[in-house]
C-alpha cells in the first residue's frame, strides 16, 4: 500500500518523534495536538519535551515543509493515534484521550485509509472501542478501511534510534490491515516487522512492561530483606548474578514513567481473577517511595519534622526529563507530608512545576541549607557530584542514596554519613 500523506494525533514523547521521523523519510505529515500551547510552540520551533536529537529532527522536518503542526486532523492516507493512556485513582485505564482522538478522525476518514493505534491500551481496545467509533463514519473496519494496533516499544533517551532499529509489531483487525501497517512503518523501520492480530499486539506490549515490573518488584523486595538482615543488597546482587541463569535487576525508589508503572494495571483491570502476582508486584513497587521516606527518617535519627531535605532528581529514570508517574516525585511529596521541608532539583527540567513541591533551578540552591542530601535519580550530572564540592556547598553531612549512585567510601572519607537502599550492615 502506498502512503503519501499521514496524520499523527498526539505530539508527546512518542507522537512527535514518530511524526518527525515519517516526515524526514519523505512523507507529508500533519502533526496534531489539542493543546494550543504545544501547537504554537512547535510552529515556532520550540519543543515541550526533551529527547536527545529531537529538537534538530523536528526543526528540520518543519523547515523542509514535510511536517505541519495543527490542532485538528486533516484528510490523509493514514492516521496514527499516539495519545496518553493514564489511569484513574482506582487503577482503571482512562481511555478518554484515545476516544477523543479516534472521534476526531471520523469526519475526515475515507475509504481505503489506514488507522493505527499506538497508545498502550488494555486488550481488545482496538476491536471494542476504536473500531466502533470509527464506524460511525459509515465505513466498516477491515472492509472499507484498514485498522491496526502497533505499540511503541522505545526507551526514553534512545527514542530516535529505537524507532528505526527496534522490531515493530503490527496487529491488524484482519490480515490486510496488518499488511497495510507493515507498508506504512517500512517507510523508516529497519528492524523486523512482525504481523499478528490486534489483540495479540496489545498483549505483547503489556506483557513486556509487566515482565519488567515484576522483576523490579522482586529486586525491591530483596532490598528490604537485605536491610532487615543486615547485608548489602548491591554486593549480594552482584554475587547472585554470577550464576549463569540469574539476572537480578537493581532496586530503587520505585517504578515510574508512562509504561512500566501503568501497563500492568491494564491486565489487572481486564482479568483481576487471573493476575494476583501482577497486582502484588505493582503494590510492591508503588510502596517503595514509602520505604525511602523511612530510610531518610532513620538517617536523620528518627526525626523528619522541620528537617530540610534536598531531593535530587525528579524524573522517573536517569538522564530524561519525563516526570510522569515518577516515584521520586512521590517520595518528595511523602517527605513533605511527614513534616520535612523539601527542596527539589531536576537537572533536566529546571523549570518544572509540580503542585505542592518547591523545585529550585540549581543544585547549589537545593543543597545550600539542607540537613540531608537525597539522591533519587541517577542522573549523570548528579552522580558526578564530588563530595569535596558538596562539602563546600552544604552543611548537610547525611547522604541518602536510593540508586547506589555515590561511592560510600569516598563520601565517608570527607565526614558524610551514607545511607543506601538495601544496606544496613553493622
By annotation, the residues acting in catalysis are 205, 259
In the three-class reduction of DSSP (H, G, I as helix; E, B as strand; rest coil), residue 323 is classed as coil
What does DSSP say about strands 67-70 and 5-9: parallel, antiparallel, or unpaired? unpaired
d(CA 401, CA 258): 24
Read off the C-alpha cell for 37: 500551547
Number of Cβ atoms within 10 Å of the Cβ of 259: 26
What does DSSP say about strands 5-9 and 417-420: parallel, antiparallel, or unpaired? unpaired
For helices 198-229 and 263-270, what crossing angle results, to 10°? 110
Residue 400 dihedral angles phi and psi, to the nearest 5°:
-120, 110
Read off the C-alpha cell for 121: 491500551
d(CA 403, CA 358): 22
Q: How far is CA 103 from CA 126, 221, 380, in A?
A: 13, 43, 42
Run of H or E including 309: strand 308-312
Q: Is 423 exposed, middle or buried (0-12, 13-18, 19+ CB in 10 A)?
A: buried
Q: Half-sphere exposure of 426 toward its Cβ, with a 13 Å CA cutoff? A: 3
Q: List, in sequence order, the alpha helices (H) in 137-174.
A: 159-165
DSSP letter for 426, please: -
d(CA 424, CA 88): 37
357 dihedral zone (left: phi>0; alpha: psi -120 to 50; beta): beta
Do residues 248 and 240 lie in contact, with contact meaning Cβ atoms separated by under 8 Å? yes
57 dihedral zone (left: phi>0; alpha: psi -120 to 50; beta): alpha
Q: Is 380 exposed, middle or buried (0-12, 13-18, 19+ CB in 10 A)?
A: exposed
In the three-class reduction of DSSP (H, G, I as helix; E, B as strand; rest coil), residue 110 is classed as coil
Amino acid at each position: 500500500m502506498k502512503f503519501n500523506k499521514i496524520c499523527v494525533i498526539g505530539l508527546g514523547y512518542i507522537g512527535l518523534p514518530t511524526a518527525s521521523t515519517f516526515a524526514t523519510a519523505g512523507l507529508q505529515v500533519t502533526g496534531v495536538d489539542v493543546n494550543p500551547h504545544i501547537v504554537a510552540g512547535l510552529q515556532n520551533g520550540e519543543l515541550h519535551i526533551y529527547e536527545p536529537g529531537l529538537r534538530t529532527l523536528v526543526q528540520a522536518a518543519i523547515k523542509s515543509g514535510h511536517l505541519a503542526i495543527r490542532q485538528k486532523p486533516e484528510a490523509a492516507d493514514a492516521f496514527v493515534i499516539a495519545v496518553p493512556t493514564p489511569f484513574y485513582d482506582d487503577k482503571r485505564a482512562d481511555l478518554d484521550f484515545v476516544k477523543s482522538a479516534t472521534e476526531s478522525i471520523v469526519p475526515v476518514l475515507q475509504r481505503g485509509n489506514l488507522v493505527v493505534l499506538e497508545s498502550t491500551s488494555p486488550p481488545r481496545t482496538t476491536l471494542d472501542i476504536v473500531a466502533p467509533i470509527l464506524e460511525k463514519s459509515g465505513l466498516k473496519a477491515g472492509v472499507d478501511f484498514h485498522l491496526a494496533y502497533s505499540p511503541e516499544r522505545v526507551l526514553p533517551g534512545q527514542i530516535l534510534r529505537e524507532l528505526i532499529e527496534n522490531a515493530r509489531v503490527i496487529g491488524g483487525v484482519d490480515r490486510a490491515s496488518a499488511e497495510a501497517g507493515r507498508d506504512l512503518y517500512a517507510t523508516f523501520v529497519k528492524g523486523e516487522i512482525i504481523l499478528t492480530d490486534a489483540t495479540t499486539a496489545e498483549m505483547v506490549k503489556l506483557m513486556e512492561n509487566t515482565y519488567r515490573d515484576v522483576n523490579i518488584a522482586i529486586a525491591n523486595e530483596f532490598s528490604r530483606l537485605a536491610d532487615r538482615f543486615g547485608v548489602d543488597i548491591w554486593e549480594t546482587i552482584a554475587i547472585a548474578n554470577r550464576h549463569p541463569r540469574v539476572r537480578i535487576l537493581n532496586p530503587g525508589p520505585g517504578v515510574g514513567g508512562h509504561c512500566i508503572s501503568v501497563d500492568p494495571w491494564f491486565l489487572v483491570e481486564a482479568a483481576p481473577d487471573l493476575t494476583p502476582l501482577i497486582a502484588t508486584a505493582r503494590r510492591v513497587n508503588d510502596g517503595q517511595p514509602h520505604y525511602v521516606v523511612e530510610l531518610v527518617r532513620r538517617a536523620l535519627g528518627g526525626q523528619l519534622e522541620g528537617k530540610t531535605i534536598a531531593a535530587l532528581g525528579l524524573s522517573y529514570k536517569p538522564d530524561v526529563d519525563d516526570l510522569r508517574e515518577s516515584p521520586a516525585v512521590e517520595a518528595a511529596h511523602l517527605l513533605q507530608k511527614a513534616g520535612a521541608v523539601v527542596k527539589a532539583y531536576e537537572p533536566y527540567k529546571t523549570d518544572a512545576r509540580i503542585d505542592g513541591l518547591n523545585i529550585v533551578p540549581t543544585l547549589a540552591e537545593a543543597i545550600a541549607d539542607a540537613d540531608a542530601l537525597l539522591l533519587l535519580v541517577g542522573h549523570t550530572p548528579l552522580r558526578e557530584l564530588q563530595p569535596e564540592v558538596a562539602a563546600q556547598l552544604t552543611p548537610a553531612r547525611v547522604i541518602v542514596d536510593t540508586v547506589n549512585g555515590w561511592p560510600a567510601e569516598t563520601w565517608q572519607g570527607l565526614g558524610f554519613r551514607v545511607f543506601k537502599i538495601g544496606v544496613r550492615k553493622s
